[in-house]
Amino acid sequence: MRVLVVDDEELVRAALRSVLGHDERLHVVGDCDGPAAVDATRALAPDLVLLDVDMPGAHGIGVVLPALRALPAPPAVAMLTALDTADHLEQALRQGASGFLLKTMEPRLFTDAVRLLAAGGVVCTPPGSAAVLAGWTARTPAAPAPPAGPGLLDVLTDREREVLTLIAAGLPNADIAACLGMGVTTVKTHIGAMKRKLGVDSRVALAATVHRTAAP
């Protein structure tokens, strides 16, 4: 899986190269700053571009992201930020981003998320993503469309939405527990409650619910 890192800080780019280099399934084909992102993408043909949200001279969401998505064979794009900002997440989804990753994530979880994104998945890291995904659900009908009334995920608690987001990211129960600071048994309890509330019978169906409701 080919990854291009785009950030205005060389130190950040080097750190991400180092983190992702520990997974033999990921190959960082290059790194650059924002103004060089489109040309680098054309030349290197990455499966995934990790794009800083805001860079001097090249606004990640407002300028670089739409330019990348307009390419004839656009890669998946995940936004990188040090701040968990709901406004940024919603704007990124509108512009066609496949994910939104915090730079403060634990390295192994970050690598797991990047691998899923490069394979075509959708990953939005908590805690802010749960509320934003719920907002998208309230405005955007799923397929098949749910009955009229509150958004599909509105029946879930905030904590259940956080667990659901990490399930959609492909994380196992032990990693979800570590990420959210709870026990594995508690994670399983939340999963059982979500299955009942959403009327699904599998973990895969739970993840599919998030992917459907996250699409702009």
To the question of pTM greater than 0.95 for the whole model, the response is no
Question: What is the rounded CA–CA span in Å between residue 184 and residue 27?
Answer: 32
Q: Phi first, then psi: what are they for 32, rounded to 5°?
A: -165, 175
What single string gives the DSSP state of each residue in 69-129?
HTSSSPPEEEEEESS--HHHHHHHHHTT-SEEEETTS-HHHHHHHHHHHHTT--EE-TTHH
Three-state DSSP class for residue 57: coil
**pLDDT digit string (tens) for 79-110?**
888 765 666 777 777 778 888 888 888 888 88
pLDDT at position 93, please? Answer: 74
- All domains of the chain, ordered by start, with CATH? 2-124 (3.40.50.2300), 128-214 (1.10.10.10)
Mean pLDDT highest for which of 6-20, 61-75, 124-138?
A: 6-20
pLDDT at position 57, please? Answer: 61
**pLDDT digit string (tens) for 109-151?**
888 888 878 877 777 765 545 445 445 444 443 333 333 234 5
pLDDT at position 135, please? Answer: 52
Integer-rounded Cα radius of gyration of the chain: 17
Query: Is the pLDDT reported for residue 55 higher than 90?
Result: no
Question: What is the rounded CA–CA span in Å between residue 133 and residue 129?
Answer: 6
Mean pLDDT highest for which of 39-43, 59-63, 106-110, 117-121?
A: 39-43
Q: Which residue has the tokens 């990348």?
A: 68
Distances (CA, A) of 200 to 11, 158, 170: 44, 19, 17
